[in-house]
Structure 1
Protein backbone atom coordinates (compact mmCIF):
# COMPACT_ATOMS: atom_id res chain seq x y z
CA UNK A 1 0.00 0.00 0.00
CA UNK A 2 1.22 3.49 -0.89
CA UNK A 3 -0.21 6.74 0.46
CA UNK A 4 0.85 10.35 -0.08
CA UNK A 5 1.32 12.87 2.71
CA UNK A 6 2.54 16.45 2.94
CA UNK A 7 6.28 16.91 3.43
CA UNK A 8 5.74 19.19 6.44
CA UNK A 9 3.76 16.60 8.43
CA UNK A 10 5.56 16.16 11.76
CA UNK A 11 7.41 12.88 12.23
CA UNK A 12 5.53 12.38 15.53
CA UNK A 13 2.27 12.33 13.57
CA UNK A 14 3.58 9.56 11.33
CA UNK A 15 4.93 7.64 14.32
CA UNK A 16 1.52 7.78 15.97
CA UNK A 17 -0.78 7.20 12.98
CA UNK A 18 1.43 5.12 10.65
CA UNK A 19 4.05 3.35 12.76
CA UNK A 20 4.45 0.46 10.30
CA UNK A 21 4.92 2.69 7.23
CA UNK A 22 8.22 3.36 5.51
CA UNK A 23 8.52 7.07 4.69
CA UNK A 24 10.10 8.08 1.39
CA UNK A 25 10.63 11.73 0.49
CA UNK A 26 10.29 12.31 -3.27
CA UNK A 27 10.63 16.11 -3.24
CA UNK A 28 13.44 18.26 -4.58
CA UNK A 29 14.92 18.08 -1.05
CA UNK A 30 14.95 14.27 -0.96
CA UNK A 31 18.15 12.29 -0.68
CA UNK A 32 19.61 10.47 -3.66
CA UNK A 33 18.22 8.45 -5.42
CA UNK A 34 14.65 9.54 -4.56
CA UNK A 35 15.28 13.17 -5.53
CA UNK A 36 15.30 11.90 -9.14
CA UNK A 37 11.51 11.59 -8.88
CA UNK A 38 11.15 15.33 -8.33
CA UNK A 39 9.89 17.16 -11.44
CA UNK A 40 12.57 19.78 -10.66
CA UNK A 41 15.39 17.22 -10.97
CA UNK A 42 17.53 17.71 -14.10
CA UNK A 43 17.31 14.14 -15.33
CA UNK A 44 18.00 15.34 -18.89
CA UNK A 45 16.95 14.53 -22.45
CA UNK A 46 13.20 14.69 -21.74
CA UNK A 47 11.25 15.10 -24.98
CA UNK A 48 9.15 18.26 -24.79
CA UNK A 49 5.56 17.18 -25.48
CA UNK A 50 4.02 18.59 -28.66
CA UNK A 51 7.51 19.75 -29.71
CA UNK A 52 9.31 17.29 -31.96
CA UNK A 53 13.09 17.63 -31.71
CA UNK A 54 13.05 19.67 -28.49
CA UNK A 55 14.33 18.30 -25.18
CA UNK A 56 14.49 19.54 -21.61
CA UNK A 57 16.48 18.91 -18.47
CA UNK A 58 13.45 18.66 -16.15
CA UNK A 59 9.69 18.21 -16.19
CA UNK A 60 9.25 21.44 -14.23
CA UNK A 61 11.40 23.22 -16.82
CA UNK A 62 8.95 22.11 -19.50
CA UNK A 63 5.91 23.13 -17.45
CA UNK A 64 7.29 26.54 -16.56
CA UNK A 65 8.91 27.12 -19.94
CA UNK A 66 5.69 26.65 -21.90
CA UNK A 67 3.61 28.81 -19.52
CA UNK A 68 2.28 32.04 -21.04
CA UNK A 69 1.43 35.08 -18.91
CA UNK A 70 -0.27 38.42 -19.54
CA UNK A 71 3.15 40.08 -19.86
CA UNK A 72 5.44 37.19 -20.85
CA UNK A 73 5.50 34.49 -23.48
CA UNK A 74 7.20 31.11 -23.21
CA UNK A 75 10.73 30.94 -21.80
CA UNK A 76 12.81 28.26 -23.50
CA UNK A 77 15.73 28.93 -21.13
CA UNK A 78 13.72 27.03 -18.49
CA UNK A 79 14.18 23.87 -20.57
CA UNK A 80 17.93 24.03 -19.94
CA UNK A 81 18.01 24.68 -16.17
CA UNK A 82 20.12 22.04 -14.41
CA UNK A 83 20.26 23.49 -10.89
CA UNK A 84 16.65 22.88 -9.72
CA UNK A 85 16.59 26.61 -8.94
CA UNK A 86 15.13 29.54 -10.86
CA UNK A 87 12.51 27.41 -12.58
CA UNK A 88 9.32 28.99 -11.25
CA UNK A 89 7.64 31.80 -13.17
CA UNK A 90 5.09 33.59 -11.02
CA UNK A 91 1.95 35.67 -11.48
CA UNK A 92 3.50 38.22 -9.12
CA UNK A 93 6.19 38.92 -11.67
CA UNK A 94 4.41 38.30 -14.98
CA UNK A 95 0.68 38.81 -14.36
CA UNK A 96 -2.06 36.22 -14.72
CA UNK A 97 -1.41 32.96 -16.55
CA UNK A 98 -3.12 32.89 -19.95
CA UNK A 99 -2.39 29.20 -20.53
CA UNK A 100 0.37 26.90 -21.69
CA UNK A 101 1.61 27.06 -25.25
CA UNK A 102 0.82 23.83 -27.13
CA UNK A 103 4.50 23.12 -27.75
CA UNK A 104 7.57 25.15 -28.61
CA UNK A 105 6.46 26.12 -32.12
CA UNK A 106 2.66 26.10 -31.79
CA UNK A 107 1.25 29.39 -30.51
CA UNK A 108 -2.12 27.94 -29.51
CA UNK A 109 -2.80 28.17 -25.79
CA UNK A 110 -4.05 25.22 -23.79
CA UNK A 111 -6.28 25.66 -20.74
CA UNK A 112 -4.77 24.45 -17.45
CA UNK A 113 -6.27 20.94 -17.23
CA UNK A 114 -5.69 20.24 -20.93
CA UNK A 115 -2.09 21.43 -20.55
CA UNK A 116 -1.69 19.19 -17.53
CA UNK A 117 -2.88 16.23 -19.63
CA UNK A 118 -0.97 17.06 -22.83
CA UNK A 119 2.26 18.49 -21.39
CA UNK A 120 2.91 17.67 -17.73
CA UNK A 121 1.59 14.10 -17.58
CA UNK A 122 3.32 12.89 -20.78
CA UNK A 123 6.62 14.49 -19.73
CA UNK A 124 6.52 12.99 -16.24
CA UNK A 125 5.38 9.62 -17.60
CA UNK A 126 8.34 9.64 -19.99
CA UNK A 127 10.70 10.15 -17.05
CA UNK A 128 9.07 7.27 -15.15
CA UNK A 129 9.25 5.02 -18.23
CA UNK A 130 12.82 5.85 -19.27
CA UNK A 131 14.93 7.40 -16.52
CA UNK A 132 14.07 6.16 -13.03
CA UNK A 133 13.30 2.44 -13.22
CA UNK A 134 15.97 1.76 -10.59
CA UNK A 135 14.37 4.21 -8.14
CA UNK A 136 10.90 2.84 -8.80
CA UNK A 137 12.21 -0.67 -8.18
CA UNK A 138 13.55 0.42 -4.78
CA UNK A 139 10.09 1.70 -3.84
CA UNK A 140 8.47 -1.50 -5.14
CA UNK A 141 10.89 -3.57 -3.05
CA UNK A 142 10.10 -1.52 0.06
CA UNK A 143 6.36 -1.79 -0.63
CA UNK A 144 6.67 -5.58 -0.55
CA UNK A 145 7.97 -5.30 3.03
CA UNK A 146 6.01 -2.33 4.45
CA UNK A 147 3.27 0.09 3.48
CA UNK A 148 4.79 3.28 2.06
CA UNK A 149 4.24 6.99 2.62
CA UNK A 150 5.50 9.18 -0.21
CA UNK A 151 6.20 12.75 0.89
CA UNK A 152 5.45 15.69 -1.41
CA UNK A 153 4.85 19.42 -1.04
CA UNK A 154 1.55 18.92 -2.89
CA UNK A 155 -1.12 16.35 -2.06
CA UNK A 156 -3.60 16.80 -4.91
CA UNK A 157 -3.92 13.47 -6.72
CA UNK A 158 -6.85 14.53 -8.92
CA UNK A 159 -5.74 15.49 -12.43
CA UNK A 160 -9.08 17.27 -12.97
CA UNK A 161 -8.71 19.48 -9.86
CA UNK A 162 -7.29 22.77 -11.08
CA UNK A 163 -7.53 24.47 -7.69
CA UNK A 164 -4.21 22.99 -6.54
CA UNK A 165 -1.00 21.86 -8.22
CA UNK A 166 -0.82 18.17 -9.02
CA UNK A 167 1.22 15.97 -6.70
CA UNK A 168 3.98 14.11 -8.52
CA UNK A 169 4.10 11.68 -5.57
CA UNK A 170 0.57 10.66 -6.52
CA UNK A 171 1.77 10.12 -10.08
CA UNK A 172 4.50 7.81 -8.76
CA UNK A 173 1.88 5.95 -6.71
CA UNK A 174 -0.45 5.63 -9.71
CA UNK A 175 2.41 4.47 -11.92
CA UNK A 176 3.49 1.78 -9.45
CA UNK A 177 -0.14 0.65 -9.19
CA UNK A 178 -0.50 0.53 -13.01
CA UNK A 179 -3.07 3.30 -12.81
CA UNK A 180 -1.28 6.32 -14.32
CA UNK A 181 -3.82 8.91 -15.50
CA UNK A 182 -4.46 9.58 -19.20
Structure 2
Protein backbone atom coordinates (compact mmCIF):
# COMPACT_ATOMS: atom_id res chain seq x y z
CA UNK A 1 0.00 0.00 0.00
CA UNK A 2 1.60 3.28 -1.12
CA UNK A 3 0.25 6.17 0.94
CA UNK A 4 1.76 9.65 0.72
CA UNK A 5 1.19 12.76 2.83
CA UNK A 6 1.24 16.02 0.89
CA UNK A 7 0.63 19.63 1.83
CA UNK A 8 -2.87 20.83 1.06
CA UNK A 9 -1.31 24.10 -0.07
CA UNK A 10 0.27 22.48 -3.12
CA UNK A 11 -1.56 22.89 -6.40
CA UNK A 12 -3.54 20.02 -7.88
CA UNK A 13 -1.21 20.06 -10.88
CA UNK A 14 1.85 19.75 -8.64
CA UNK A 15 0.32 16.83 -6.75
CA UNK A 16 -0.66 15.07 -9.96
CA UNK A 17 2.81 15.54 -11.41
CA UNK A 18 4.44 14.11 -8.28
CA UNK A 19 1.95 11.25 -7.91
CA UNK A 20 0.40 10.51 -11.31
CA UNK A 21 -2.83 8.56 -11.15
CA UNK A 22 -3.03 8.64 -7.35
CA UNK A 23 -6.31 8.98 -5.47
CA UNK A 24 -6.18 12.34 -3.66
CA UNK A 25 -8.06 12.55 -0.36
CA UNK A 26 -8.40 15.76 1.68
CA UNK A 27 -8.55 14.71 5.33
CA UNK A 28 -8.46 18.22 6.81
CA UNK A 29 -11.30 20.04 8.54
CA UNK A 30 -12.11 21.57 5.13
CA UNK A 31 -12.28 18.22 3.38
CA UNK A 32 -15.52 16.76 1.99
CA UNK A 33 -17.67 14.09 3.57
CA UNK A 34 -16.84 11.44 4.61
CA UNK A 35 -13.11 12.30 4.78
CA UNK A 36 -13.60 15.34 7.01
CA UNK A 37 -14.44 12.84 9.75
CA UNK A 38 -10.74 11.90 9.83
CA UNK A 39 -9.83 15.42 10.95
CA UNK A 40 -8.86 15.78 14.64
CA UNK A 41 -11.23 18.76 14.74
CA UNK A 42 -14.28 16.65 13.87
CA UNK A 43 -16.69 16.42 16.86
CA UNK A 44 -17.35 12.68 17.09
CA UNK A 45 -18.15 12.90 20.79
CA UNK A 46 -17.58 10.34 23.52
CA UNK A 47 -13.80 10.23 23.09
CA UNK A 48 -12.08 9.10 26.32
CA UNK A 49 -9.76 11.67 27.89
CA UNK A 50 -6.41 10.08 28.86
CA UNK A 51 -5.69 9.71 32.57
CA UNK A 52 -9.25 10.86 33.35
CA UNK A 53 -11.75 8.01 33.98
CA UNK A 54 -15.36 8.64 32.97
CA UNK A 55 -14.55 11.94 31.21
CA UNK A 56 -14.87 12.30 27.44
CA UNK A 57 -14.32 14.97 24.83
CA UNK A 58 -16.04 15.87 21.58
CA UNK A 59 -12.91 15.95 19.41
CA UNK A 60 -9.23 15.01 19.39
CA UNK A 61 -8.20 18.65 19.07
CA UNK A 62 -10.56 19.64 21.87
CA UNK A 63 -8.90 17.16 24.24
CA UNK A 64 -5.41 18.26 23.18
CA UNK A 65 -6.21 21.93 23.71
CA UNK A 66 -8.14 21.33 26.95
CA UNK A 67 -5.15 19.70 28.66
CA UNK A 68 -2.61 22.32 27.54
CA UNK A 69 -1.12 24.41 30.34
CA UNK A 70 0.28 27.90 29.73
CA UNK A 71 2.22 30.30 31.92
CA UNK A 72 -0.96 32.31 32.46
CA UNK A 73 -3.67 29.64 32.12
CA UNK A 74 -4.23 26.09 33.33
CA UNK A 75 -6.42 23.47 31.65
CA UNK A 76 -9.63 24.57 29.95
CA UNK A 77 -12.13 21.74 30.22
CA UNK A 78 -14.73 23.73 28.28
CA UNK A 79 -12.79 22.74 25.15
CA UNK A 80 -13.89 19.15 25.75
CA UNK A 81 -17.48 20.17 25.04
CA UNK A 82 -16.96 22.19 21.84
CA UNK A 83 -19.04 20.49 19.15
CA UNK A 84 -18.03 22.69 16.23
CA UNK A 85 -14.73 22.69 14.39
CA UNK A 86 -13.84 26.25 15.40
CA UNK A 87 -13.07 27.95 18.69
CA UNK A 88 -10.73 25.17 19.82
CA UNK A 89 -7.27 26.73 19.65
CA UNK A 90 -5.50 28.18 22.71
CA UNK A 91 -2.52 30.28 21.77
CA UNK A 92 0.81 31.43 23.19
CA UNK A 93 -0.04 34.96 22.10
CA UNK A 94 -2.98 35.03 24.47
CA UNK A 95 -1.80 32.86 27.38
CA UNK A 96 2.00 33.01 27.35
CA UNK A 97 4.46 30.16 26.88
CA UNK A 98 3.27 26.55 27.02
CA UNK A 99 4.47 24.78 30.16
CA UNK A 100 3.23 21.35 29.12
CA UNK A 101 0.12 19.20 28.95
CA UNK A 102 -1.54 18.05 32.13
CA UNK A 103 -1.70 14.27 32.54
CA UNK A 104 -5.46 14.21 32.91
CA UNK A 105 -8.07 16.84 33.57
CA UNK A 106 -7.10 17.00 37.26
CA UNK A 107 -3.62 15.48 37.13
CA UNK A 108 -0.64 16.93 38.95
CA UNK A 109 1.96 15.89 36.36
CA UNK A 110 2.85 18.14 33.45
CA UNK A 111 4.00 16.25 30.35
CA UNK A 112 6.61 17.84 28.07
CA UNK A 113 5.69 18.27 24.40
CA UNK A 114 6.98 15.01 22.94
CA UNK A 115 5.70 12.97 25.87
CA UNK A 116 2.29 14.65 25.53
CA UNK A 117 2.19 13.73 21.86
CA UNK A 118 2.85 10.10 22.72
CA UNK A 119 0.63 9.75 25.78
CA UNK A 120 -2.27 12.05 24.85
CA UNK A 121 -2.49 12.85 21.13
CA UNK A 122 -1.51 9.45 19.72
CA UNK A 123 -3.83 7.28 21.85
CA UNK A 124 -6.74 9.70 21.44
CA UNK A 125 -6.45 9.83 17.65
CA UNK A 126 -5.89 6.07 17.47
CA UNK A 127 -9.06 5.55 19.51
CA UNK A 128 -10.99 7.63 16.98
CA UNK A 129 -9.53 5.63 14.08
CA UNK A 130 -10.48 2.37 15.77
CA UNK A 131 -13.89 3.36 17.09
CA UNK A 132 -15.37 6.28 15.15
CA UNK A 133 -14.09 6.12 11.55
CA UNK A 134 -13.76 2.39 10.89
CA UNK A 135 -15.76 2.63 7.65
CA UNK A 136 -13.70 5.55 6.37
CA UNK A 137 -10.44 3.74 7.12
CA UNK A 138 -11.75 0.65 5.34
CA UNK A 139 -12.72 2.80 2.36
CA UNK A 140 -9.20 4.23 2.20
CA UNK A 141 -7.76 0.73 2.24
CA UNK A 142 -10.07 -0.12 -0.65
CA UNK A 143 -8.96 2.93 -2.62
CA UNK A 144 -5.32 1.96 -2.08
CA UNK A 145 -5.79 -1.43 -3.70
CA UNK A 146 -3.56 -1.24 -6.75
CA UNK A 147 -3.25 2.55 -6.61
CA UNK A 148 -1.33 5.19 -4.68
CA UNK A 149 -3.25 7.33 -2.20
CA UNK A 150 -2.32 10.92 -1.40
CA UNK A 151 -3.57 12.33 1.91
CA UNK A 152 -3.75 16.11 2.04
CA UNK A 153 -2.98 17.91 5.29
CA UNK A 154 -1.78 21.38 6.24
CA UNK A 155 1.34 19.90 7.84
CA UNK A 156 3.29 16.82 6.80
CA UNK A 157 5.43 16.11 9.88
CA UNK A 158 5.06 12.45 10.85
CA UNK A 159 8.00 12.30 13.27
CA UNK A 160 6.78 12.41 16.87
CA UNK A 161 10.21 13.54 18.06
CA UNK A 162 10.41 16.44 15.60
CA UNK A 163 9.08 19.28 17.72
CA UNK A 164 9.95 21.99 15.20
CA UNK A 165 6.61 21.72 13.38
CA UNK A 166 3.08 20.58 14.21
CA UNK A 167 2.32 16.88 14.00
CA UNK A 168 0.39 15.82 10.92
CA UNK A 169 -2.71 13.75 11.63
CA UNK A 170 -2.60 12.59 8.01
CA UNK A 171 0.86 11.17 8.71
CA UNK A 172 -0.58 9.33 11.71
CA UNK A 173 -3.38 8.05 9.50
CA UNK A 174 -0.72 6.84 7.09
CA UNK A 175 1.04 5.04 9.96
CA UNK A 176 -2.27 3.42 10.88
CA UNK A 177 -2.93 2.26 7.32
CA UNK A 178 0.62 0.94 6.89
CA UNK A 179 0.94 -0.75 10.29
CA UNK A 180 3.76 1.52 11.51
CA UNK A 181 2.04 3.29 14.40
CA UNK A 182 4.59 5.20 16.59
CA UNK A 183 5.37 4.25 20.17
CA UNK A 184 2.96 5.69 22.72
CA UNK A 185 5.26 5.34 25.74
CA UNK A 186 8.97 5.58 26.53
CA UNK A 187 9.28 1.82 27.09
CA UNK A 188 7.95 1.06 23.59
CA UNK A 189 10.42 3.24 21.71
CA UNK A 190 13.20 1.91 19.56
CA UNK A 191 11.06 -0.40 17.44
CA UNK A 192 12.00 1.73 14.44
CA UNK A 193 8.51 2.32 13.09
CA UNK A 194 9.05 6.08 13.14
CA UNK A 195 12.16 5.89 10.97
CA UNK A 196 10.06 5.36 7.87
CA UNK A 197 9.97 8.56 5.85
CA UNK A 198 6.63 10.19 5.25
CA UNK A 199 6.36 11.80 1.83
CA UNK A 200 5.83 15.51 1.93
TM bucket, shorter chain: over 0.9
Alignment of 1:21-100 (within 5 A): 21-100=22-101
Deviation at 1:178, TM superposition (A): 1.3
Match of 1:109 in 2: 110
Match of 1:118 in 2: 119
Instruction: Give me the whole-angstrom Cα distance separating, in 1, the residues matched to 2:21 and 2:28.
Output: 22
Deviation at 1:12, TM superposition (A): 1.1
Match of 2:197 in 1: none
> SS at the partner of 1:24?
strand
Instruction: Give me the whole-angstrom Cα distance separating, in 2, the residues matched to 1:44 and 1:181.
Output: 24
Deviations 1:109-166 (A, max 9, x none): 1100001111000100100111101000110010004100000011000011111111
The answer on 1:131 being equivalent to 2:139 is: no
**Alignment RMSD, CA only?**
0.7
Match of 1:175 in 2: 176
> SS at the partner of 1:84?
coil
Match of 1:17 in 2: 18
Q: Which runs of 5+ in 2 are unaligned?
A: 184-200
Q: Which runs of 5+ in 1 are unaligned?
A: none
Deviation at 1:30, TM superposition (A): 0.5
Instruction: Give me the whole-angstrom Cα distance separating, in 1, the residues matched to 2:17 and 2:121.
Output: 35
The answer on 1:140 being equivalent to 2:141 is: yes
Instruction: Give me the whole-angstrom Cα distance separating, in 1, the residues matched to 2:67 and 2:97.
Output: 14
Instruction: Give me the whole-angstrom Cα distance separating, in 2, the residues matched to 1:116 and 1:148.
Output: 25
Instruction: Give me the whole-angstrom Cα distance separating, in 2, the residues matched to 1:105 and 1:69.
Output: 15
Deviation at 1:108, TM superposition (A): 1.4
Instruction: Give me the whole-angstrom Cα distance separating, in 2, the residues matched to 1:154 and 1:16.
Output: 20
Deviations 1:30-76 (A, max 9, x none): 10110011000001100001111110000000000000001000000
